[in-house]
Amino acid sequence: MTMEKQTPVFEYAPAPESRSVVDIAPSYGLFIDGEFTEAADGKVFKTVSPSTEEVLSEIAQAGTEDVDRAVRAARKAFEKWSALPGSERAKYLFRIARIIQERSRELAVLETLDNGKPIKETRDADLPLVAAHFFYYAGWADKLDHAGFGANPRPLGVAGQVIPWNFPLLMLAWKIAPALATGNTVVLKPAETTPLSALFFADICRQAGLPKGVVNILPGYGATGAALVEHPDVNKVAFTGSTAVGKAIARQVAGTRKKVTLELGGKGANIVFDDAPIDQAVEGIVSGIFFNQGQVCCAGSRLLVQESIQDELLDSLKRRLSTLRLGDPLDKNTDIGAINSAEQLSRITTLVEAGEAEGAERWSAACELPSSGYWFAPTLFTNVTQAHTIARDEIFGPVLSVLTFRTPDEAVAKANNSQYGLSAGIWSEKGSRILAVANKLRAGVVWSNTFNKFDPTSPFGGYKESGFGREGGRHGLEAYLDV
Partner 1 sequence: MSDRLSVFKTYKLYVGGKFPRSESGRVYEVTDSKGKWLANAPLSSRKDARDAVVAARKAFGGWSGATAYNRGQILYRIAEMLEGRRAQFVHEVADAEGLSKSKATEQVDAAIDRWVWYAGWTDKIAQVVGGGNPVAGPYFNLSSPEPTGVVTVLAPQKSSFLGLVSVLAPVIATGNTAIVIASEKSPLPALSLGEVLATSDLPGGVVNVLSGRTAEIATPLAAHQDVNAIDLAGAGTDDGLAKELEIAAADNLKRVLRPQPVDDWSATPGIDRMTAFLETKTVWHPTGSLGASGSGY
Choice between 329 and 472, CB closer to partner 1: 472
For the bound state, the minimum distance from the C-beta of residue 473 to partner 1, rounded and expressed in Å, comes to 6
For the bound state, the minimum distance from the C-beta of residue 6 to partner 1, rounded and expressed in Å, comes to 32
Q: Amino acid identity of 157?
A: G
Region from 251-259, 298-306, 365-373, 385-393 binding partner 1, contact rule CB under 8 A: 251-259
Region from 57-65, 110-118, 362-370, 468-476 binding partner 1, contact rule CB under 8 A: 468-476
Question: What is the CB-side half-sphere exposure of residue 387 using CA atoms within 13 A?
Answer: 2
| φ/ψ bin of 56: left (φ > 0), alpha (ψ from -120 to 50), beta (otherwise) | alpha
**Given the DSSP bridges, would you call strands 44-49 and 54-60 parallel, antiparallel or unpaired?**
antiparallel
Q: What is the DSSP string of 149-171?
A: S-SSPPB-SEEEEE--SSSHHHH
The catalytically annotated residue of 111, 263, 465, 478 is 263
For the bound state, the minimum distance from the C-beta of residue 426 to partner 1, rounded and expressed in Å, comes to 9
Assess whether 297 carries a catalytic annotation. yes
Q: Which residues contact 222 (CB under 8 A, 6 or more apart)?
A: 245
Q: Is residue 432 close enough to count as binding partner 1 by CB under 8 A?
A: no
Q: Is residue 449 close enough to count as binding partner 1 by CB under 8 A?
A: yes
Bridge partners, 121 (sequence order): none
Region from 25-33, 203-211, 306-314, 457-465 binding partner 1, contact rule CB under 8 A: 457-465
Q: Does residue 147 contact residue 153 with C-beta atoms inside 8 Å?
A: yes
Q: Is residue 467 close enough to count as binding partner 1 by CB under 8 A?
A: yes
Contact pick of 445, 477, 479, 481 for partner 1 (by CB under 8 A)? 445
3-class secondary-structure state, position 74 = helix
Region from 2-10, 84-92, 174-182, 253-261 binding partner 1, contact rule CB under 8 A: 253-261
CA distance 483 to 258: 13
Contact pick of 168, 447, 480, 481 for partner 1 (by CB under 8 A)? 447
Give the distance, in angstroms, between the CA of residue 456 and the centroid of all CA atoms in the same chain: 14
Region from 158-166, 218-226, 267-275, 466-474 binding partner 1, contact rule CB under 8 A: 466-474
Q: Is residue 139 close enough to count as binding partner 1 by CB under 8 A?
A: no
Cα–Cα–Cα angle for 295, 307, 414, nearest 5°?
A: 55
Burial class of residue 440 (count of CB atoms within 10 Å of its CB; 0-12, 13-18, 19+): middle
Choice between 100 and 402, CB closer to partner 1: 100
The catalytically annotated residue of 17, 192, 297, 465 is 297
Q: Is residue 262 close enough to count as binding partner 1 by CB under 8 A?
A: yes
Q: Is residue 455 close enough to count as binding partner 1 by CB under 8 A?
A: yes
Contact pick of 336, 444, 477, 480 for partner 1 (by CB under 8 A)? 444
Choice between 74 and 479, CB closer to partner 1: 479
Q: Does residue 326 contact residue 378 with C-beta atoms inside 8 Å?
A: yes
C-alpha closest to that of 203 among 107, 94, 64, 121 = 107
For the bound state, the minimum distance from the C-beta of residue 293 to partner 1, rounded and expressed in Å, comes to 23
Choice between 62 and 281, CB closer to partner 1: 281
For the bound state, the minimum distance from the C-beta of residue 371 to partner 1, rounded and expressed in Å, comes to 39
Contact pick of 26, 151, 255, 432 for partner 1 (by CB under 8 A)? 255
Positive or negative torsion for Cα 185, 191, 192, 198: negative
Q: Does residue 479 contact residue 240 with C-beta atoms inside 8 Å?
A: no
Q: At what angle do helices 86-102 and 196-207 cross, to 10 degrees?
A: 120
Q: How many angstroms separate the Cα of 219 from the Cα of each of 43, 196, 199?
A: 11, 9, 8
CA distance 146 to 150: 8
For the bound state, the minimum distance from the C-beta of residue 278 to partner 1, rounded and expressed in Å, comes to 16
Q: Is residue 288 close enough to count as binding partner 1 by CB under 8 A?
A: no
Q: Is residue 277 close enough to count as binding partner 1 by CB under 8 A?
A: no
Q: Is residue 465 close enough to count as binding partner 1 by CB under 8 A?
A: yes
Region from 105-113, 210-218, 374-382, 436-444 binding partner 1, contact rule CB under 8 A: 436-444
Q: Is residue 483 close enough to count as binding partner 1 by CB under 8 A?
A: yes
Q: Is residue 459 close enough to count as binding partner 1 by CB under 8 A?
A: yes
Q: How many other C-beta atoms are found inside a 10 Å radius of the C-beta of residue 34?
A: 18
Assess whether 263 carries a catalytic annotation. yes
Burial class of residue 75 (count of CB atoms within 10 Å of its CB; 0-12, 13-18, 19+): middle
Contact pick of 243, 301, 306, 418 for partner 1 (by CB under 8 A)? 243
Contact pick of 131, 267, 475, 481 for partner 1 (by CB under 8 A)? 475
Q: Is residue 270 close enough to count as binding partner 1 by CB under 8 A?
A: no
Contact pick of 189, 267, 320, 470 for partner 1 (by CB under 8 A)? 470
Q: How many other C-beta atoms are found inside a 10 Å radius of the C-beta of residue 417?
A: 16
CA distance 454 to 472: 9
Which residues are near partner 1 by CB under 8 A?
Answer: 132, 148, 243, 246-248, 250-251, 254-255, 257, 262, 264, 419, 434, 438, 441, 443-450, 453, 455, 457-461, 463-465, 467-468, 470, 473, 475, 483
> Which residues are identified as catalytic?
263, 297
